[in-house]
Amino acid sequence: MSKSETICDCCGKVFMRENKHLRQNRRHGNKNYCSQLCVTTGLYHGHKTEKEVTCSYCGKIYLKYIYKIKQNKTGKHFCCSACRGLYLSKQHDDRFIVRYRKKALKILPNHCSVCGYSVIDILEVHHKDGDRDNSGLDNLDILCPTHHKEYHHGIRQYI
pLDDT in tens, 10-67: 778 999 999 999 899 888 888 888 888 777 776 665 455 678 899 988 999 988 877 7
Q: How confident is the model at residue 146 (pLDDT cuts 50, 70, 90)?
A: very high
Q: Closest by alpha carbon to 4, among 18, 14, 23, 21?
A: 18
Q: Is the pLDDT of residue 8 over 90?
A: no
Q: What is the mean pLDDT of the chain?
A: 84
Q: Closest by alpha carbon to 44, among 66, 14, 18?
A: 66
CA distance 80 to 102: 32
**Domain residue limits, the chain:** 3-46, 50-91, 94-152
Q: What is the pLDDT, as a whole number, of residue 133?
A: 78
Q: What is the pLDDT, as a whole number, of residue 25?
A: 85
Sign of CA dihedral 71, 73, 77, 81: negative
- Under 8 Å between Cβ of 77 and 55: yes
Instruction: Write out the H or E segment, with its range, that includes residue 19.
Output: helix 19-28
Q: How many C-beta atoms lie closer than 10 Å to residue 131's C-beta?
A: 9
CA distance 143 to 115: 8
